[in-house]
């Protein structure tokens, strides 16, 4: 069984790797944004995740910072 | 003759100027006057859960729940005479659920009024973007109605792009003003005398009191394009709630076998901060990653990580497996069935506020052919996604969703 610490370590390593490429930050022109403009590259949560985000905000103590609900509607069952 | 020539040249230049002006301004005014259909979306989901820690029965008992939810939104746009783009959105959502634990609010009936409920939630939004300056402002209204809960919400937002259009700062303020009916467990209702009152199911609107709950949140976000393949979003939110934050039908059993209604503080401050990184790897893979740290003044601390990879089988078909790991510590006021004591000021046996971790995994498939899905020209995209959610404390759920995008 993978421990919580190990899972966090794996994800932290992935993030660190991606953050490392921040050093290569360059200005990207509009005509170079074809990959960035792909529907699946959107920086917001996707439409199809709508109900998932709702049930997670009801079933978990933490919520917010993901475009999901922070209030309104009971969802108390 | 000179006069005639000059007049002809003057008229010609005038006409030319008028014509060329008309050409460009006609183009702009055409955009400004006509309301354009941008897109419409339909999202339908079926959610099913089961567990053995229902808060209605004090942290024990079935959490079986089925929920059908559908929403439809419409997005329209138009340009005004200052070349600013206005976006108008309207959304209608309907959820219908059946819940085994809600049925235990009044165990004297075979099936109480709270066994099933329908939530109806329309919303309206508007935004105005000045494409030249890279500034967007917007506002929205929201309402949600269910049998025992009514909510009204409003928001305003602002966004500004950097001069090179590679970064964007955004801010959002939201407020929700909720009213809930105080539907207590049958045996704890003031007139029940502890024995079920009249014995009839008297779930009518007038027999309940009400309480209010307010939620205010402020969000700041920064998005940045790093290179042609990578972009990130940093997001921080401050959420403040006050009012009746317990739920009136949640039972809590003390160690002396007495039963009480959940009692939680009337204030809560939540701070979630998140980072999202999306990377286009080669020509076929999109890696979407998200991490959130959360802390609140009820002493819940949580970490959430999500990773999903879209694999483009071809430019119009992609498959997206995903995995999400969530972990939280318990709220100070949580204890299991018959663990709370009379010395506790605040108490709950709601396992959503307990220590647990969960895994959520599944996959989605997305179709977006150039001639439309199933050759239906306006059906721009179709997506189906399934996920399984598993807690380490005897709770699991499944969700399947369908998204249709019309353009």
Do B118 and B95 meet the contact criterion of CB atoms below 8 Å apart?
A: yes
| Residue found under tokens 């998932």 | A52
Task: Give me the pLDDT at residue B195, please.
Answer: 38
pLDDT in tens, B176-217: 999 999 989 888 887 665 433 333 444 455 578 899 999 999
Dist. CA B326–CA B393, nearest whole Å = 13
ipTM: 0.84
| Length in residues, chain A | 77
* Residues of chain A contacting residue B117, judged by C-beta atoms under 8 Å apart: 77
The rounded distance, in Å, linking the Cα atoms of B15 and B43 is 53
Q: Which chain A residues are Cβ-neighbours of B225 within 8 angstroms?
A: 28, 33, 36
Q: Is the pLDDT of residue B288 over 80?
A: yes
Contact across the interface for B387 and A52, Cβ inside 8 Å: yes
B51 touches chain A (CB under 8 A): no
- Would you state the structure tokens that stand for residue B303, as one six-digit string? 């970490």
Q: Give the closest of B228, B231, B328 to A62, CB-based.
A: B328
More confident residue, B104 or B404: B404
Does the pLDDT at position A24 exceed 70?
no
Write phi, then psi, for B5 (nearest 5 degrees).
-60, -45
Asked if B352 and A74 come within 8 Å (Cβ–Cβ), the reply is: no
What local confidence, expressed as pLDDT, does residue A74 receive?
Answer: 63
Instruction: Tell me the CA distances in angstroms from B1 to B4, B5, B6, B7, B15, one per residue in order.
Output: 5, 6, 9, 10, 21
Q: Which of A48, A60, A65 sits opposite B364 (nearest CB)?
A: A48
What CA–CA distance (Å, rounded) separates B200 from A52? Answer: 38
- β-sheet bridge partners, residue B64: none
Average pLDDT over residues A51-67: 90
With cut-offs at 50, 70 and 90, classify the pLDDT of residue B16.
very low
Beta bridge partners of B303: B293, B327
Q: pLDDT category, A73, cuts 50, 70, 90?
A: low
Which chain B residues contact residue A62 at CB under 8 A? 270, 272, 292, 294, 296, 300, 302, 304, 326, 328
> What is the nearest CA distance from A33 to chain B, expressed in angstroms?
6
Supply the pLDDT for residue A65. Answer: 86
CA distance to B23, B290, B305, B322, per residue, from A17 (Å) = 52, 14, 15, 19
Please report how many Cα atoms fall inside a 13 Å half-sphere around the Cα of residue B311, on the Cβ side.
7
> Average per-residue pLDDT in chain A?
78
User: What's the confidence (pLDDT) of residue A48?
Assistant: 95
Buried b / exposed e across B93-113, counting CB within 10 Å, b at 16+? Answer: bebebbbbbbbbbbeebeebb
Comparing CB atoms, the residue among A7, A48, A64 nearest residue B270 is A64
Residue A19 — pLDDT band, cuts 50, 70, 90? low
Say yes or no to pLDDT of B259 above 60.
Answer: yes
Which of A49-58, B3-12, B180-189 is predicted least confidently? B3-12
For B2, other C-beta atoms within 10 Å of its C-beta total: 6
Instruction: Work out the average pLDDT over B343-359.
Output: 97
Percentage of residues in chain B having pLDDT higher than 90: 78
Q: Rounded mean pLDDT of chain B?
A: 88
Tokens 């029940």 appear where?
B192
Give the pLDDT confidence score for residue B108 in this predicted structure.
Answer: 67
CA nearest to B236 within chain A: A65
Question: pTM of this prediction?
Answer: 0.85
Amino acid A18: pLDDT: 60
Higher pLDDT: A20 or B277? It is: B277
Q: Which of B67, B274, B310 sits opposite A40 (nearest CB)?
A: B310
The fraction of chain A above a pLDDT of 70, given in percent, is 55
Band (B101; pLDDT cuts 50, 70, 90): confident
Residue A66: pLDDT band with limits 50, 70, 90: confident
Q: Which residue has the higher pLDDT, A25 or B187?
A: B187
Name the residue in chain B with its Cα closest to that of A8: B305
Contact pairs from chain A to chain B, CB under 8 Å: 216
B235 contacts A72? CB cut-off 8 A = no
Residue B5 has pLDDT above 60, yes or no: no
Residue B33: the pLDDT is 67
Min distance B276 CA to chain A CA atoms (Å): 7
Report the pLDDT averaged over residues B12-31. Answer: 43
**Is B144 an interface residue toward A (CB < 8 Å)?**
yes
Classify residue B179 by burial, with Cβ atoms within 10 Å: 0-12, 13-18, 19+: middle
Contact residues on chain A for B42, CB-CB shorter than 8 A: none
Strands (E), B244-266: 251-253, 259-261
Look at residue A17 in the predicted model and tell me its pLDDT: 64
Test B227 with A21 for CB contact under 8 angstroms. Answer: yes
Token pair 């909510």: residue: B151
With a cut of 90, say whether residue B27 has pLDDT above it. Answer: no
| Predicted local confidence at residue A76, as pLDDT | 58
pLDDT of residue B194: 44
Say if CB B284 and CB B257 are below 8 A apart.
Answer: no
Using CA coordinates, name the residue in chain B closest to A43: B233
Q: Give yes or no for a contact between B221 and B233, defined as CB atoms under 8 angstroms apart.
A: yes
What's the mean pLDDT in B317-335?
Answer: 97
pLDDT for B187: 85
CB B144 within 8 Å of CB B120: yes
pLDDT at res. B186:
84
* Distance separating alpha carbons of residues B314 and B310, to the nearest angstrom: 11
Which residue in chain B has the smallest CA separation from A76? B247
């Amino acid at each position: 069984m993978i421990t919580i610490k190990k899972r966090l370590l794996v994800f932290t390593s992935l993030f660190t790797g991606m953050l490392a490429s921040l050093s290569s930050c360059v200005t990207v022109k509009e005509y170079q944004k074809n990959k960035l403009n792909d529907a699946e590259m959107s920086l917001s949560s996707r439409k199809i995740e709508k109900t998932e985000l709702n049930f997670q905000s009801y079933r978990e103590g933490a919520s917010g910072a993901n475009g999901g609900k922070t209030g309104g509607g009971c969802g108390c069952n | 003759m000179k006069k005639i020539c000059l007049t002809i040249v003057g008229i010609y230049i005038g006409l030319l100027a008028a014509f060329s002006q008309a050409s460009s301004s006609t183009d702009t005014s055409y955009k400004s006057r006509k309301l354009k259909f941008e897109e419409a979306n339909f999202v339908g989901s079926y959610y099913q859960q089961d567990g053995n820690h229902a808060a209605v029965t004090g942290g024990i008992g079935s959490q079986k729940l089925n929920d059908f939810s559908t929403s439809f939104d419409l997005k329209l746009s138009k340009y005004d005479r200052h070349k600013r783009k206005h976006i108008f959105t309207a959304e209608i959502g309907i959820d219908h659920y059946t819940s085994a634990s809600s049925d235990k609010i009044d165990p004297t009936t075979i099936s109480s009024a709270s066994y099933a409920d329908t939530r109806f939630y329309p919303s309206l939004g508007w935004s105005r973007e000045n494409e030249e300056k890279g500034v967007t402002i917007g506002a929205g209204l929201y309402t949600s109605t269910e049998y025992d809960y009514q909510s009204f919400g409003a928001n305003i937002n602002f966004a500004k792009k950097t001069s090179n259009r590679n970064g964007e700062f955004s801010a959002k303020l939201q407020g929700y003003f909720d009213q809930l009916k105080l539907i207590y467990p049958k045996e704890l209702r003031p007139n029940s005398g502890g024995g079920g009152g009249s014995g009839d199911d008297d779930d009518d609107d007038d027999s309940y009191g009400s309480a209010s709950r307010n939620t205010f949140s402020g969000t700041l976000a920064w998005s940045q394009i790093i290179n042609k393949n990578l972009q990130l979003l940093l997001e921080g939110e401050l959420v403040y709630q006050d009012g009746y934050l317990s739920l009136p039908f949640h039972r809590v059993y003390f160690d002396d076998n007495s039963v009480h209604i959940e009692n939680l503080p009337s204030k809560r401050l939540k701070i979630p901060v998140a980072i999202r990184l999306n990377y286009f790897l080669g020509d076929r893979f999109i890696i979407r990653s998200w991490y959130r740290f959360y802390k609140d003044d009820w002493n819940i601390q949580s970490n959430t990580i999500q990773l999903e990879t879209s694999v483009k089988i071809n430019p119009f078909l992609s498959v997206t497996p995903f995995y999400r790991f969530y972990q939280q510590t318990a709220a100070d006021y949580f204890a299991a069935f018959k663990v709370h004591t009379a010395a506790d000021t605040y108490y709950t046996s709601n396992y959503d506020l307990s220590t647990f971790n969960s895994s959520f995994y599944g996959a989605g498939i997305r179709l977006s052919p150039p001639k439309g899905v199933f050759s239906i020209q306006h059906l721009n995209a179709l997506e189906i996604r399934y996920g399984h959610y598993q807690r380490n404390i005897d709770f699991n759920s499944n969700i399947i969703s369908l998204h249709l995008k019309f353009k």
